[in-house]
A and B are shown apart, each in its own frame.
Chain A
Amino acid sequence: MSASGQKRALWGLTDVVVISLALVPVLWIVSLSLKTPATLTDGTFWPRHPSFVNYSGIFRTTLFTRSFFNSIGIAVITTAVSVILAAMAAYAVARLDFPGKRLLVGASLVVAIFPLISLVSPIFNLWLKLHLYDTWPGLILPYLTFSLPLAIYTLSAFFREIPWELEQAAQMDGATPLQAFTKVIAPLAAPGVFTTAILVFIFAWNEFLFAISLTSTDAARTVPAALAFFTGSSQFEQPTGSIAAAAVVVTIPIVLLVLMFQRRIVAGLTAGAVKG
């Protein structure tokens, strides 16, 4: 085998190992979701007689479907608002000089690392009084708060790399300020904004503690919280199959999103290479 053929084989092997380690647990949960309650413990990886009974079960009530809807809505709104607010603050941190910059950064770090467990009760009490309990804003506001520090940091790191002089150069070449912004700055800022959006979305999508504490009905309950409400067919029976089916259903959009955007995501992160 030629040297480059050997190299390709080696890379190929590494690929296969990485992909299997990443995906086997995912395939397992798919297989579990296709097993009936009677065959859950038959000890095989794949079900012998795949069945969709778990899937029909979770769609029978609004518990799961509504929580899926809540999760998506809350995560999307959190992402949009957080990126906007963070972009504004990151622009200031990256490009402007003002007293209190260090205080801002320091305070947002405190917010980022203070354990959420002790903040649940006071926020719960506050929300109860403000009628924000069990509402979308009731979850969006804390998610905004706790995603902003990371978002500001990430965006300011990206913004620092942008050659802002290009904007002035474009304007001197005859472009209006708006054109200079949209045609020159925006494309350069896009990868950073995109990366930040993903970080914030994943945070809101995954969040568990506030989801179980600040919701009580379908109105705002997200998927992580809804899993605690799943039941088996009797009081003591574990809803293993239902949880597995729900897990697959909420992962499908993620798989689709990743398939669509993996090129953009990697491009965004390797954008620094353009300058190198």
Chain B
Amino acid sequence: MASATETLRPASTPAPRHATRRAKAERRLAYWLCAPAVVVMLAVTAYPILYAVWLSLRRADLRFPAQSAFVGLANYATVLRSGLWWQAVANTLIITIVSVALELVFGMVIALVMHRALIGKTAVRTAVLIPYGIITVVAAFSWRFAWTPNLGYLPSWLHLTGDPLTSHASSLAIIILAEVWKTTPFMSLLLLAGLALVSNDLLEAARIDGAGAWQRFTNVILPVMKPAILVAILFRVMDAFRIFDNIFVLTQGSNSTQSVSILGYDQLFVGLNLGIGSAISVLIFLIIAVIGFGFIKGFGAAAPGMDTRR
């Protein structure tokens, strides 16, 4: 919203006073508007985040308070050398990649149904939003009971012989299923917002040109939705990497199904080793930051606030 006077002003002459006053007023307003949110966020997290980072550089075990000492990066070295850490990273990557991929596909189907189905839109919309609204740990309990032989219905329906929650691979699959069931509605909502941007005129034109349904989908809908899809993937990946609730209730991390968050939790709350636990937290943070950065720079996902137009 540059005023006409500003654009015509040569560089050497001082800016007109009403323009600077206006810019100042705008700045003041902006600060006042942001202040409450910033104050809340800073007040609650500034000390804890700094404390966590500081702890990660120390040997700090709650049970042996006399042995606290500065150890530099030794905790990080211990973590990065530990097979448990890499197993947790592998688990987390598998869960993240598979569940986000599935959520993308199912979410797209559901978004299409919610937006364009000829019949039953209301029923689908209602039914699909219910998993989203159920408390995560409550849903996780439901899944755990459902998969327990003799108690639940799934082992007999699927004619399973063993107990699916006792082996590594099937436990991971169950965790992924619980994640996908719970979060696909969220993904479908994000995709729905992107789907709504596809103009009907464009689709009509494509249909008249002879494009089939699949071609319309890949050549018209997907390209227009690309920014929304990227944002949806970015959000979900960053969240899925920190998966905790479902694993906590389903397996407690047994059978080597720990995610990085569960591993960190175990070190902090069970092992009471604050140094190692904090180091793991910082590592998780760095990994997610790198992933996010990669998405923004590499795939061009829209970063919050990085908006070029007013």
Direct contact of A and B (CB under 8 A): yes
Categorize the interface residue count of chain B: 35 or more
Interface 9-residue window, one of A48-56, A57-65, A117-125, A175-183: A117-125
Q: Does B51 contact A (CB under 8 A)?
A: yes
Q: Does B204 contact A (CB under 8 A)?
A: no
Cα distance A254–B193 in the bound complex, in angstroms: 22
Tell me if A153 and B304 are in contact (CB < 8 A): yes
Q: Does B238 contact A (CB under 8 A)?
A: yes
Q: Does A162 contact B (CB under 8 A)?
A: no
Contact with A along B279-310 (1 / 0, CB 8 A): 01110110011001000000000011111001
Cα distance A170–B20 in the bound complex, in angstroms: 27
Tell me if B52 and A270 are in contact (CB < 8 A): no
Tell me if A244 and B145 are in contact (CB < 8 A): yes
Q: Does A102 contact B (CB under 8 A)?
A: yes
Q: Does B8 contact A (CB under 8 A)?
A: no
A-B contact count (CB 8 A): 286
Q: Does A80 contact B (CB under 8 A)?
A: no
Tell me if B261 and A206 are in contact (CB < 8 A): no
Cα distance A21–B102 in the bound complex, in angstroms: 14
Chain A residues with CB below 8 A from B238, complex form = 113
Chain B residues with CB below 8 A from A15, complex form = 113, 117, 119-120, 123-124
Q: Does A76 contact B (CB under 8 A)?
A: no
Chain B residues with CB below 8 A from A259, complex form = 126
Given that A12-B120, A118-B268, A156-B304 are contacting pairs, would A142 and B138 also be in contact in the complex, using a CB cutoff of 8 Å?
Answer: no
Given that A25-B139, A122-B48 are contacting pairs, would A11 and B118 also be in contact in the complex, using a CB cutoff of 8 Å?
Answer: yes
| Overall SS of chain B's interface | helix
Our pick among B30, B115, B133, B244 for the contact of A257 (Cβ within 8 Å) is B133
Q: Which of B238-288 contact A (CB under 8 A)?
A: 238, 242, 244-245, 248, 261, 264-265, 268-269, 274, 277-278, 280-282, 284-285, 288
Q: Which of B125-182 contact A (CB under 8 A)?
A: 125-139, 141-143, 145-146, 150-153, 156, 181
Q: Does B44 contact A (CB under 8 A)?
A: yes
Q: Does B38 contact A (CB under 8 A)?
A: yes
Instruction: Give the shortest distance, in Å, between B251 (CB) and chain A (any CB).
Output: 15
Cα distance A117–B130 in the bound complex, in angstroms: 28
Instruction: Give the shortest distance, in Å, between B302 (CB) and chain A (any CB).
Output: 8
Q: Does A188 contact B (CB under 8 A)?
A: no
Q: Does A99 contact B (CB under 8 A)?
A: yes
19 A-B pairs in the complex with CB atoms less than 8 angstroms apart:
A15-B113, A19-B123, A22-B128, A22-B130, A22-B185, A28-B145, A44-B153, A96-B30, A98-B31, A111-B45, A113-B289, A115-B281, A153-B305, A156-B304, A202-B132, A206-B245, A240-B145, A262-B126, A270-B196
| Residue ranges of B at the interface with A (Cβ–Cβ < 8 Å) | 23, 26-27, 29-31, 33-34, 36-38, 40-41, 43-45, 47-49, 51-52, 55, 109-110, 113-115, 117-120, 122-139, 141-143, 145-146, 150-153, 156, 181, 185, 189, 192-193, 195-199, 238, 242, 244-245, 248, 261, 264-265, 268-269, 274, 277-278, 280-282, 284-285, 288-289, 292, 303-307, 310
| Residue ranges of A at the interface with B (Cβ–Cβ < 8 Å) | 4, 7-8, 11-12, 14-15, 18-19, 21-23, 25-26, 28-29, 32, 40-41, 43-45, 85-86, 88-89, 91-99, 101-102, 104-105, 107-111, 113-115, 117-123, 126, 141-142, 144-145, 148-149, 152-153, 156-157, 160, 202, 205-206, 208-209, 223-224, 227, 240, 243-244, 246-247, 250-251, 254-255, 257-259, 262-263, 265-266, 269-273, 276
